Structure 1
Amino acid sequence: MSSSHAKTRKEKPIHSIIAGTTAGAVEAFVTYPTEFVKTRSQFGGSKEGPIGIIRTTVREKGITGLYSGCSALVIGNAVKAGVRFMSYDQFKAALVDKEGKLSAPRSLLAGLGAGTMEAIFAVTPSETIKTKLIDDSKRAVPRFNGLLHGTAMIVREEGITGIYRGLFPVIMRQGANSAVRFTTYSTLKQFVQSNARPGQQLPSSVTFGIGAVAGLVTVYTTMPLDVVKTRMQALDARTQYRNSFHCAYRIFTEEGIFRFWRGTTPRLTRLVLSGGIVFTIYEKIIAVIGSGSAGA
């Protein structure tokens, strides 16, 4: 990524896709148990904390229980990251000024555009399926037998809209996620580079740290959107909520404002790790396949 004081370059779309999908797949698999715990904690009626959810799941389902719905997220996250980085790089190239610089407000706009694209083409279907698989795994006798069987049943029973439930809050969340994450990352990266020798490439440890801080900022600013998204994608959402605004209203009036930050700890763990993992892998792969320093 570039900031207001740095020149930016347009990455080749195929390079952005290769680097992004690889980074997304690795990150999703490594951090999935935290996503599982976060999702379970956000369902209505959930009283257990993160540790309690882990203990109960391992006792009843074994370690593999923490990976219920994992394949849906790994595939979706790979596609999501590919779409995100490709979209961001293209929006970024279109928004630079005549000197090839990208201001912070324009970086924010590019992030919003990238988040919207990934929400439509990757995040909503994969996260809806993942959420339903996790919700189903709570049952004594789950109905879904893996990703393909679960997806087929959801589509058969609810139609194609069944895997696009919660589209609006997902667009809102992903747009905010990408806008905050990319802008925070670019600002911090430029600050660090301004204190380094000209042309010096940042070490992976520094890139990881910058990405982790970007993930931290993203979590706290977008958590309410994530909770509404999870509720809208649960198995009983059609009978509980008319739309996203009704869902948010019920959570606020029935459970209190702090419920919007339910699941913050596991999501924070995941996004701090994912921010470091994704940006580090993306930068390295872009460099390896010949595009020089990444503009992420």
Structure 2
Amino acid sequence: MSRDRSNKLLPSVSLAAGGAGGAIEAIVTYPLEFVKTRMQLGTVKTRNPIIIISRVVRTEGLPALYRGFPNVVIGSMGKNAVRFVSFDAIKNVWKDPATGELTPIRSLLAGMSAGVMTSMFVVTPTQRIKTAIIDDGGTERRFRSSLQAARVMYQERGLAVFYDGFGSTTLKSISATAVRMGMYNILKDCQHSRSIPPAATTAFVNGAIAGIVTTYATQPFDTLKTRCQSADGASITQAFRRIVANGGLKMFWSGSVTRLGRTILSGGVLFTVYEQIAAVLDPLLAPR
């Protein structure tokens, strides 16, 4: 049974559905995230993801493709839980009471607000550890696990180390969440206005379309974030200069094709799982 759009989705439902969607999305797409990060760090010479994967498996072993994976699963669950709870809460305040819909501008602003929340509480620290582990895997190999890496990093520089790249990560998170959540909400409103019934296939297509737009709109921020969060860390200015020195402005779109494949897949999986779980949990938890 579909949920009436005029009703508010319970925060507990958003939290559970967003967390589950984030976990499944991370499991399915992590190897592509690994390859994209190596490309952005400039530690590989090719842009062919298959060549990179085969080389990593041959030289570092198959488990290397999942270096930093537990941290990313936790981060993805937390990120999407916070993202959906924040977005739904803001959307419920700004939506039209009669139709339950947002204007396109309000959809984007709600997404931006949710992006700030996710960057502050989840994305920056978890992405910092993940990026450092992947970078380290191609150089010194000091880090054996997410927990051990976090401990070493904390001992060397304290809590501040986990917020290296906070500015660039927040820019990326704001832009990505605004575009992704805003575009998805616009597509859902369009679907609703045309009386298209909700289904897993439409949720997947909407999520995939939102993912395509998000990738190319936000790739420079993603590349800048990755460089800021390398094993040694860097400021936004240092990262910008290194990227330009490595190959000019085109380097800001490094790994975009790989990220596009991951984002299309992750967007489809994430929103499909979210909608399906929310549809099951909302009637069960809604007050009678």
Structure 2 length-normalised TM: 0.91
1:7–1:102 CA contact under 8 A, matched in 2: no
Cα RMSD (Å) of the superposition?
Answer: 1.8
1:35–1:270 CA contact under 8 A, matched in 2: yes
SS in 1 for 2:9: coil
The aligned counterpart of 2:108 is 108
**CA shift for structure 1 position 124:** 0.5
**CA shift for structure 1 position 290:** 2.4
- Which one is further off, 109-118 or 178-187? 178-187
**CA shift for structure 1 position 61:** 2.0
**CA shift for structure 1 position 195:** 3.3
**CA shift for structure 1 position 80:** 0.4
- Would you say 1:27 and 2:19 are equivalent positions? no
Deviations 1:121-140 (A, max 9, x none): 1110110000011111113x
- Would you say 1:55 and 2:51 are equivalent positions? no
Counterpart of 1:13 (choices 11, 17, 21) is: 11
- Would you say 1:154 and 2:153 are equivalent positions? yes
**CA shift for structure 1 position 63:** 1.8
Distance 1:251 1:61, change over 3 A: closer
The aligned counterpart of 1:273 is 265
1:8–1:96 CA contact under 8 A, matched in 2: no
Q: Where does structure 1 lack aligned partners over 5 or more consecutive residues?
A: 1-5
- Would you say 1:233 and 2:233 are equivalent positions? no
1:11–1:291 CA contact under 8 A, matched in 2: no
Distance 1:219 1:291, change over 3 A: farther
1:1-296 equivalences in 2 (<5 Å) = 8-49=6-47, 50-99=49-98, 100-139=100-139, 142-196=141-195, 200=197, 202-237=198-233, 241=234, 243-252=235-244, 255-291=247-283
Q: Where does structure 2 lack aligned partners over 5 or more consecutive residues?
A: none
2:101–2:189 CA contact under 8 A, matched in 1: no
**CA shift for structure 1 position 12:** 1.3
Amino acid at match of 2:202: V
Q: How many angstroms apart in 2 are the aligned matches of 1:281 and 1:98?
A: 27
2:18–2:81 CA contact under 8 A, matched in 1: yes
Q: How many angstroms apart in 2 are the aligned matches of 1:276 and 1:142?
A: 34
**CA shift for structure 1 position 250:** 4.0
**CA shift for structure 1 position 98:** 4.8
Structure 1 length-normalised TM: 0.89
Amino acid at match of 1:30: V
Distance 1:137 1:45, change over 3 A: closer
Q: How many angstroms apart in 1 are the aligned matches of 2:10 and 2:96?
A: 19
**CA shift for structure 1 position 190:** 2.6
Amino acid at match of 1:70: F
Distance 1:89 1:72, change over 3 A: same
**CA shift for structure 1 position 247:** 2.2
Amino acid at match of 2:40: Q
Q: How many angstroms apart in 2 are the aligned matches of 1:117 and 1:88?
A: 10
Q: How many angstroms apart in 2 are the aligned matches of 1:8 and 1:167?
A: 36
- Which one is further off, 250-259 or 129-138? 250-259
**CA shift for structure 1 position 226:** 0.3
**CA shift for structure 1 position 196:** 3.5
Q: How many angstroms apart in 2 are the aligned matches of 1:217 and 1:14?
A: 29
Structure 1 vs Structure 2: percent identity of aligned residues? 41
Amino acid at match of 2:218: T
